[in-house]
Amino acid sequence: MEELRESGQAKRGTIHCLTIIGQIEGHQILPEDQKTTKYEHILPTIAAVEESPEITALLILLNTAGGDVEAGLAIAEMIAGMRKPTASLVLGGGHSIGVPLAVAADKSFIAPSASMTIHPVRITGVVIGAAQTYDYLARMQARITAFVTAHSGISEARFVHLLSDATQLANDVGSILTGQEAVSAGLIDTVGTLADALKYLHERGGETK
């Protein structure tokens, strides 16, 4: 976490820095050669940050490569439910479930060189080709779409269009938005750097939702 000291007459508190990197690991263990973020470790950390009297804000650094949808949504809901000021900063990329994680914060930032990859929910491994399987995927996608549109400025129609674009990804449907494109679409609040995110949290320090 970053210790923020007194500057002049203004007393500053402590910003906790939470990194969510690589694939989001849920209930199933990914191979050890894949960098993972274990959501069962992150959830109690977020709760502890919310309860700590010494911590005034939370900064989430994101560079995700997809992962478990249920785990990602659980983390996103925890962040969105905090009273303390929160800011997210996308560095490198926000892939798949990284999108709701980015928009869950009070204010979302994206580095100029970063990108957001938006594509429909997919599952790997053995798939039962029954109507119930496709209905389950559709309902899961609806949950993600509802969360993203509720916590960002993008419209449902625009988000669904980006999910369904067949011209951008070679072997899949979906879209890749660079930093400014993500902002223009209403998905991310602003292009910015670490200094911008910290400045926002410094100014918000001590506030509650």
List strand residue ranges (DSSP E) for 26-166, in order: 36-38, 55-67, 86-90, 93-95, 107-110, 115-118
Confirm whether 96 is a catalytic residue: yes
pLDDT at site 59: 97
Q: Which residue ranges in the chain fall short of pLDDT 50?
A: 1-11
Confirm whether 119 is a catalytic residue: yes
Distance from C-alpha of 54 to C-alpha of 70, rounded to nearest angstrom: 31
pLDDT at site 99: 92
pLDDT at site 3: 44
pLDDT at site 81: 96
Q: What amino acid occupies position 117? A: T
Is-contact 188 90, C-beta < 8 A? yes
60 pairs with which residues across the strands?
A: 18, 88
Distance from C-alpha of 98 to C-alpha of 101, rounded to nearest angstrom: 5
pLDDT at site 113: 94
pLDDT at site 163: 85
pLDDT at site 85: 96
Catalytic residue among 96, 108, 152, 175: 96
pLDDT at site 9: 35
Domain boundary assignment for the chain = 2-204
pLDDT at site 186: 96
pLDDT at site 51: 95
Which CATH topology does 2-204 take? 2-enoyl-CoA Hydratase; Chain A, domain 1 (3.90.226)
Residue burial 110-125, b: 16+ Cβ < 10 Å; e: rest = bbeebbbbbbbbeeee
Distance from C-alpha of 181 to C-alpha of 185, rounded to nearest angstrom: 6
Catalytic residue among 16, 88, 115, 119: 119
pLDDT at site 165: 84
pLDDT at site 1: 46
